[in-house]
Amino acid sequence: MNRFLGRAWLPLMLAGILWGGIALYRDSAAYREVKSVYDRVASEITRFSPGDDPDRIYVRCMVNKPLHLKWQIASPAAAHLIGVRQGLGGSGRATIQGAQEVICRFAVDLGHGQAYQQWQLAGSGSSGGIEWELASFLKRHWDELQISVAGEDETQAFDSLQVIDLLRIEFPSSLLRTAEQELSTPLYQQLQSPVLLCLGISDSPGWQEVSGLNDMTRRFMNGVR
Amino acid sequence: MIERPRLQFRLGHCLLLMTLLAVWLADYKLRSETARMSDALKSYSTIASFLVVENRSKLQVLEEPQLWNHEQVWQVYVPQPTPLELLCVQRRGQAQGSAADDFRTPLAPGRHRIVFRHEIPQTRRTGVPAFAGVYLIVDEQEHELSLRQLDENEMPAPMQLSQNLRGSTKSQAATEPLELLSAGPTDGVTWKIWIQPADAQHAGD
């Protein structure tokens, strides 16, 4: 018995190693395949780690590329939220009825002589065009824009009574001077108020303190309260 | 003197046993890591879509949820070693004859990203020329399929993009043609995009 085992072990083990080698080769191809996607995703998407305090709203910007931003928002108390947007040729608002997890998005798409914009607050959103001259002006001067994004570096916890600026794009006066020369008057006037995407509960006193709102947005705000 | 061969015999087997364990342990680690990354990718699906290749011998297509009305995006995995090609066919109605500007490009094994865009103006200003264009972007390489200057005040209707796969993944044998899009008629033109084996006849006709 011992002698038989002594003889059989060697081919058995060699076969096992060979088989393992083949499995390793095949599985490593599958591994590389998934890893290549995973590495790209890990650099594009961040981690959302909200808490569970009902007096807080947690915000994390999950996708932050030029002209495409996406936030994940958690409201443990499932508050009724209002989202307001302003800028790039219009204003609007959306109501989010008591959801605990909300996704918001702002995106601009530059095509061939056409530009598109899209705002999304939870399920409801709006999309439309932006004047090509305005869109390409902003693209050219992207580095001069003062852009602040909520939850950019980590999951941010806000007081649930606060109105959160998910996105605020301000135009510095030096850029406005350039815009006055390069753009037509109606387009230049669109840069007089910041591009905004705000979120807060409907009866928050914070709505009165949001800065940079233009008349059109204020009319929407009056609809809010 | 009897002990020596016994020792040699054991050492050799020990080494082989260790190699065997190492190979299988490495394989186990590799597989568990692959599974972990696949699960993580699936959990990200509410934020962004990624094609997770489940079967490396099949042609797999993920239709991304539509971000823009004028754009449709697919992620494609082409298995080894089947040579495939991507075809885009535009067919005019009978009124304008049957002129065909077919576009075809080979798809090498691996991953591809295909974007179909129908760009039309959202706003018009008098005196400013406007265009309606159809573009196909294959792995960042853009191809203009059609471009037409619009008449003054003409506002073309957006193309109804079909969402054949409804934002899901389709997996099938690479020997069969796989239709990605069938749209139109828009401006009297119908559009069809599909993937098929490189040597096949037009499967979409």
Instruction: Give tens-digit pLDDT for B99-127.
Output: 456 788 888 888 899 999 988 887 777 77
Picking from A99-103, B47-51, B95-99, B183-187, which range would have the lowest pLDDT averaged per residue?
A: B95-99
Of B19, B41, B56, the CB nearest to A41: B41
Residues B38 and B65 in one domain: no
- Report the C-alpha gap between B114 and B132 in whole angstroms: 20
Minimal C-alpha gap between A28 and chain B (Å): 7
Dihedral, CA of residue B48, residue B54, residue B55 and residue B58, to nearest 10: -30
For residues B113 and B30, state if they share a domain.
no
Q: Are A92 and A61 in contact (CB under 8 A)?
A: no
Contacts of A30 in chain B (CB under 8 A): 34, 53, 56
Q: Is the ipTM of this complex over 0.85?
A: no
Which pLDDT does position B29 carry in this prediction?
A: 95
Same-domain check for residues B193 and B93: yes
- The answer to whether position B52 is within a domain reads no
Note the pLDDT of residue B100: 53
φ, ψ at A129 (rounded to 5°): -100, 160
Q: Does the residue B64 lie in any domain?
A: yes
For residues B39 and B106, membership in a common domain is answered with no
Pairwise CA distance, residues A114 & A130, whole Å: 8
Q: Taking Cα atoms as reference points, which of B135, B156, B137 lies closest to residue B147?
A: B135
Please state which of the ranges B1-5, B58-62, B63-67, B160-164 shows the lowest mean pLDDT: B1-5
Task: Look at residues A153, A131, A24 and name the one whose alpha carbon lies nearest to residue B124.
Answer: A131
Residue B127 lies in a domain: yes
Using one digit for the tens of pLDDT, what is the confidence trace for A176-199? Answer: 898 888 888 888 888 888 988 888
Pair B150, B80 in one domain = yes
Average pLDDT for A2-18: 79
Q: What percent of chain A has pLDDT over 70?
A: 95
Within-domain flag for B48: no
* Residue B113 and residue B171 in one domain: yes
Range of the domain at B35: 1-43
- What pLDDT was estimated at residue B98? 42
Is residue B27, in this structure, part of any structural domain at all? Answer: yes
Comparing CA positions, the residue from A215, A217, A141 lying closest to residue A183 is: A141
Quick one: angle between helices B3-43 and A2-44, nearest 10? 30
Question: Looking at the structure, do residues B116 and B187 belong to the same domain, yes or no?
Answer: yes
What mean pLDDT value characterizes chain B?
80
What DSSP letter does each residue of A39-92 carry, written as one string? HHHHHH---------TTEEEEEEEEEETTEEEEEEE-TT---EEEEEE-SS-EE
- In a shared domain, residues B74 and B163: yes
pTM value is 0.78
Identify which has the larger pLDDT, B124 or A157.
A157
Predicted local distance difference test score (pLDDT) of residue A13: 85
Domain assignment present for residue B123? The answer is: yes
User: What is the rounded average pLDDT of the residues A206-215?
Assistant: 78
Q: In which band, very low, low, confident or very high, does the pLDDT at B27 lie, cut at 50, 70 and 90?
A: very high
Chain B: nearest CA to A125, how far in angstroms? 11
Question: What pLDDT shows up at residue A120?
Answer: 83
Judged by a CB distance cut-off of 8 A, whether residue B85 touches chain A is no
Q: In chain B, which residue's Cα lies nearest the Cα of A109?
A: B68
Pairing of strands B59-63, B169-172: antiparallel
**Adjacency order of strands within the sheet including B141-149:** B141-149, B131-138, B110-119, B71-78, B59-63, B169-172
**How near does any CA of chain B get to the CA of A90, in Å?**
13
Same domain, B31 and B64: no
Tell whether B28 lies on the interface with A, counting CB pairs under 8 A: no
B33 and B82 share a domain? Answer: no
**Inter-chain touch A30–B53, beta carbons under 8 Å:** yes
At A4, is the pLDDT very low, low, confident or very high (cuts 50, 70, 90)?
A: low
Q: Say if the Cβ atoms of A44 and B48 lie within 8 Å.
A: yes
- Mean pLDDT (chain A) is 84
